[in-house]
């Protein structure tokens, strides 16, 4: 029993944080809102150089051959920076889906391209109403009932759905399932899709932790600088106590998410419940952080001029991604209260 990260895992986290502090500033996040794709090819290449995209890609295909325990802290950093790039669906969900297609030459080819930054993957899963980043994806991994299809970008038609978070790019995707796109069916597809759901929810939970922490940090900084009645507003108990409550929620969500990373990496029997618990805990903590950070900022926080809304809107978006809070809470309830194993 050792519930902690290794020095190496912490070092990778620190490098990722430093990298994103320079390469994903609020100014850069805003700049992409107006661009055509909302995504940066240059930054995607640099993320590939950092090794982020190939963390879960096996070494024989040019990846790092690591697991979700290694990845979870890095995803947390992408949340802290409000990184808009499709890291979650490509590196945390798409890669293991392809890697699960054993003996598939198609999967092998795509897997080799991901670590170098030469392929973006999008995932169309029943847990999500829309497909994120379908417009920049090279390959779309699409659920069709109990089948999994790998569909190249030219064979889909996408329609953008404008979102509250200006960084988010969601699409309705039209495509025709065909025998040459089907890569898994029946039990195998079911297993892969269940894994995708848990990896997506785990990744979103990790990002929510980072988003929540950033919201608290911003609110603390603001409360320390902003003066009213001749003193910093952070010296008032009404402000202190709101922030302390968020600190408690985040503190107790964090180990739940890290445990879920272990459960996914080792595929333990309680994986689904552990992941759902993590998604609920992280989403609720981040939502509370958003609410409190806004209140601490007052009317300043209600503007688009202050950066706060970047993270608030990300928190609200991510809590819907890969299963909403009620959906995940009910999945825990079915297992824990009713003794029903959904998988």
Question: Which residue among 125, 168, 277, 314 contacts another protein (CB under 8 A)?
Answer: 277
Decide if residue 256 touches another protein (CB under 8 A).
yes
Say which residues have a Cβ less than 8 Å from residue 103's Cβ, sequence separation at least 6. Answer: none
**The two structure tokens encoding residue 228:** 């009213």
Decide if residue 259 touches another protein (CB under 8 A).
yes
Residues in 160-189 that interact with another protein by CB under 8 A: none
Cβ 150 to another protein, closest distance in Å? 32
Distances (CA, A) of 280 to 114, 240, 252, 292, 321: 30, 25, 12, 18, 12
Distances (CA, A) of 181 to 114, 135, 153, 226, 290: 19, 19, 12, 57, 41
Quote the CA–CA distance of 246 and 251 in Å, as a whole number: 8
Quote the CA–CA distance of 95 and 92 in Å, as a whole number: 6
CB 8 within 8 A of CB 66: no
| Cross-strand bridge partners of residue 158 | 173
Cβ 12 to another protein, closest distance in Å? 14
User: What count of other Cβ atoms lies within 10 Å of the Cβ of residue 333?
Assistant: 13
Cβ 232 to another protein, closest distance in Å? 5
Q: Which is nearer to another protein, 252 or 302 (CB)?
A: 252
End-to-end alpha-carbon separation of the chain, Å? 27
Q: Which is nearer to another protein, 193 or 233 (CB)?
A: 233
Quote the CA–CA distance of 335 and 160 in Å, as a whole number: 36
Cβ 9 to another protein, closest distance in Å? 8
User: What count of other Cβ atoms lies within 10 Å of the Cβ of residue 212?
Assistant: 32
Cβ 298 to another protein, closest distance in Å? 16
Quote the CA–CA distance of 230 and 274 in Å, as a whole number: 48
Cβ 193 to another protein, closest distance in Å? 24
Question: Which residue among 50, 281, 289, 317 contacts another protein (CB under 8 A)?
Answer: 281
CA dihedral 83, 86, 91, 95 (to 10 degrees): 170
Decide if residue 2 touches another protein (CB under 8 A).
yes
Candidate ranges 24-32, 38-46, 165-173, 246-254; the one touching another protein (CB under 8 A): 246-254
In the shown chain, the binding pattern of residues 198 to 237 toward another protein, with x for contact by CB under 8 A and - for none, equals ------------------x---x--xx------xx-xx-x
Decide if residue 262 touches another protein (CB under 8 A).
yes
Cβ 223 to another protein, closest distance in Å? 6
Transcribe 124-140 into DSSP letters.
E-TTSSSEETTTT-SEE
Q: Which is nearer to another protein, 185 or 259 (CB)?
A: 259
Decide if residue 269 touches another protein (CB under 8 A).
no
Candidate ranges 56-64, 173-181, 193-201, 256-264; the one touching another protein (CB under 8 A): 256-264
Residues in 29-68 that interact with another protein by CB under 8 A: none
User: What count of other Cβ atoms lies within 10 Å of the Cβ of residue 302?
Assistant: 12
**The two structure tokens encoding residue 267:** 């595929």
Report the Cα 314 to chain-centroid distance in Å: 10
Say which residues have a Cβ less than 8 Å from residue 60's Cβ, sequence separation at least 6. Answer: none
Give me the sheet containing 131-132, strands edge to edge: 131-132, 170-174, 157-161
Candidate ranges 4-12, 93-101, 122-130, 162-170; the one touching another protein (CB under 8 A): 4-12
Question: Which residue among 29, 56, 131, 239 contacts another protein (CB under 8 A)?
Answer: 239
Residues in 301-330 that interact with another protein by CB under 8 A: 329
Decide if residue 340 touches another protein (CB under 8 A).
no
Decide if residue 332 touches another protein (CB under 8 A).
yes
The residues of the shown chain that bind another protein, judged by CB under 8 A, are 1-6, 69, 216, 220, 223-224, 231-232, 234-235, 237, 239-241, 243-245, 247-248, 251-256, 258-259, 262, 277, 280-281, 329, 332-333, 336-337
């Amino acid at each position: 029993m050792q519930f902690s990260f290794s020095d190496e895992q912490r070092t990778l986290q620190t490098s990722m944080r430093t990298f994103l502090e320079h390469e994903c500033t609020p100014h850069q996040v805003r700049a992409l809102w107006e661009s055509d794709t909302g995504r940066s090819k240059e930054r995607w290449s640099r993320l590939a150089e950092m090794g982020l995209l190939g963390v879960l890609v096996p070494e024989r295909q040019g990846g790092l051959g690591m697991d979700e325990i290694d990845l979870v802290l890095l995803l947390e950093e992408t949340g802290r920076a409000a990184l808009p790039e499709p890291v979650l669906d490509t590196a945390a969900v798409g890669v293991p889906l392809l890697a699960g297609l054993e003996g598939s030459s198609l999967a092998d080819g795509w897997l080799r391209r991901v670590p170098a930054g030469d392929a973006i993957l999008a995932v169309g899963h029943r847990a999500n109403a829309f497909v994120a980043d379908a417009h920049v994806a090279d390959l779309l991994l699409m659920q069709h009932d109990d089948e999994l299809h790998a569909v190249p970008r030219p064979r889909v038609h996408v329609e953008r759905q404008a979102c509250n978070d200006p960084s988010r790019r969601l699409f309705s995707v039209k495509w025709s399932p065909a025998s040459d796109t089907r890569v898994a069916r029946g039990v195998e597809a079911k297993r892969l899709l269940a894994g995708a759901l848990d990896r997506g929810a785990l990744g979103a939970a990790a990002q929510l932790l980072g988003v929540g922490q950033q919201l608290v940090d911003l609110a603390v900084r603001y409360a320390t600088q902003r003066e009213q009645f001749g003193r910093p507003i952070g010296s008032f108990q009404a402000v202190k106590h709101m922030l302390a409550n968020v600190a408690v929620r985040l503190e107790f969500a964090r180990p739940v998410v890290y445990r879920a990373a272990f459960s996914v990496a080792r595929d333990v029997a309680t994986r689904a419940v552990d992941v759902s618990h993590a998604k609920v805990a992280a989403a609720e903590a981040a939502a509370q952080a958003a609410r409190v950070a806004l209140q601490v900022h007052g009317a300043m926080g209600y503007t688009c001029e202050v950066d706060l809304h970047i993270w608030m809107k990300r928190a609200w978006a991510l809590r819907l991604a890969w299963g909403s809070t009620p959906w995940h809470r009910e999945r825990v309830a079915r297992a824990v209260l009713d003794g029903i194993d959904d998988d």
